[in-house]
Structure 1
């Protein structure tokens, strides 16, 4: 029997992908940790492990009329969602937390609106951490690896070489990843050159950096 290989945190491809940002803002999560992708990957794994039952514990606490437990569970979820960049889930958890605290009548309605967003986050984490969704579970996000270091730099350099203004969008979308790849000093030089539309200068800096890093 072949043992399943688990991808180590430093091999996980975590990128500021605009398609998935509405569900989990990877760039924001990495920025919160000062660009530490390894730590962010561990946080994603911990979130996926601790919340594998989705909203079931909250639903059970509310059904048992255990207001204190329900409030504590939702409060913890709100904080954890914010740390990984799952902002829509964080907002829905905040709304439910407020409803529980004030004993509002719309608790069940808010829990119902939180559940599908929770599922979207968990499914996306399966894609990010494992590269594919669980068998039989449909996913509404691309089940593909996010851009690798070399691919990200290559794409940016291609845009710059063609004088394509989309380089500015890519720079902003992937600033956290580029900071990890290039370092603060080089990223600052590239950013200044691109925003001044000096694409040749930006290409020169990227060439020096990628050549020295082996990318």
Structure 2
């Protein structure tokens, strides 16, 4: 049986061969339901091999640093009136501003908690992807990986108490150049948005990586328009 999901076709017996992506020959397609022994989300093939490799590296670095990590998935929203007038450069700057703002908020929170005493800290590790709605407007998915000794859960973006979700919302508002409105957080928290992963618990890693692999799918991503479709922290 031949498989053809938008990438070069191979027979089932050759499924592990590297098929080049038709829109970006620098990328390769992945059709197997695992990557380096970790499961990937079925029903979303092809995935992009290089994206899975990056995702794997981000998880690996986080678990090398911390015995326990929190993995959260959020989908920030761009108001339609802003999205309609954004250029390619605007979108790239938006991502950069969002990440800088969120890192600054996390740093400030650590400084507040460590006044007069030691408090654990966390690097902000992330993976993000850009996809397109049917009407042609881009939207984003983000995955954040943090030290679970610092942040234990994501919380609600509309909570009166400061939590991880409200911090993400404030960073997104800042990136958009808007005054924060707690009643309209502009981030979507999907079902099962968080995963607890322990360094010595391979099953917890499998669950989180499987869910996170959704960001690595080829479908809905555009290439050749000057905008990156995928990005991740490098350290």
Structure with more of its chain in strand, by fraction: 2
Structure with more of its chain in helix, by fraction: 1
* Shared fold per TM-score greater than 0.5: no
Measured against the shorter chain, the TM-score band is under 0.3
Q: Which has the larger radius of gyration?
A: 1
Q: Relative contact order, CA 8 A, sep 6+: which one is greater?
A: 2
**TM-score normalised over the length of structure 2:** 0.26
**TM-score normalised over the length of structure 1:** 0.27
